[in-house]
Amino acid sequence: MSHSTFKITNAVRHIKSGEVIAYPTEAVYGLGCDPLNEYAVMKLLEIKQRPIEKGLILIASSLEQLNPYLVLGPTIIERLSATWPGPVTWVISAQPWVPRWLTGDHDSLAVRVTAHPIAAALCERFDGPLVSTSANQTTRPAIRSARKLLKSFAGSGIYIVHGEVGGLRRETAIYDAITGLQLR
């Protein structure tokens, strides 16, 4: 087992145990957990000091991993396919069963099929999507290095998957899947 396979396997063990992890993404370090583990999501929101009403982003290694969460049609799938895998997040209508701790005050969900090799490997090994939100407290700037991450979250119990963030200078763009309009 290579070092990176070990790193991914160990991180997934933490995720399955209901823990929050930090890992590199296309632009910044992200905080993630099992999206269907309410305890883990609440812990992540507390660490980040993010209100539940805002909702969260899910990342995946394929559209198939996101399918159960979303209401998809041919036009939306065509839009997604043109940008994925890649650093584009889409807001799409959520299936009625998707928990409020993911959607917040919305009836939609923000999702992305990531092109970052570590983030994609985490989803692949976990065999499903992960919550992905920038690894910073809500009012603080996003974090791009493991050193800053360790300093900012000392004592929080977050398992850190070390690696290089991608080349994006800003967090990923967010678009509305129905209108195609950029939201961020």
Can you read off the two tokens belonging to residue 118?
């570590």
pLDDT at 149: 87
On the question of pLDDT at 2 being above 80, the answer is: no
Global confidence as pTM = 0.95
> Where are the chain's structural domains?
3-176
The 10s digit of each residue's pLDDT in 77-103 is 999 999 999 999 999 999 999 999 999
On the question of pLDDT at 123 being above 70, the answer is: yes
CA distances from 92 to 67, 80, 85, 164 (A): 11, 10, 16, 29
Q: How many Å separate Cα 102 from the centre of its chain?
A: 11
The 10s digit of each residue's pLDDT in 23-71 is 999 999 999 999 999 999 999 999 999 999 999 999 999 999 999 999 9
Q: Average pLDDT, whole number, for the chain?
A: 93
pLDDT at 107: 96
Q: How many Å separate Cα 52 from the centre of its chain?
A: 15
pLDDT at 81: 94
Q: In terms of DSSP H, where are the helices of 24-116?
A: 38-48, 63-66, 74-83, 100-103
The 10s digit of each residue's pLDDT in 152-184 is 888 888 999 999 999 888 788 899 999 999 998
C-alpha span between 23 and 134 (Å, rounded): 10
pLDDT at 156: 85
Its CATH class, for the domain covering 3-176, is alpha beta
The residue type at 121: A
What is the pLDDT averaged over residues 13-21? 98
pLDDT at 146: 85
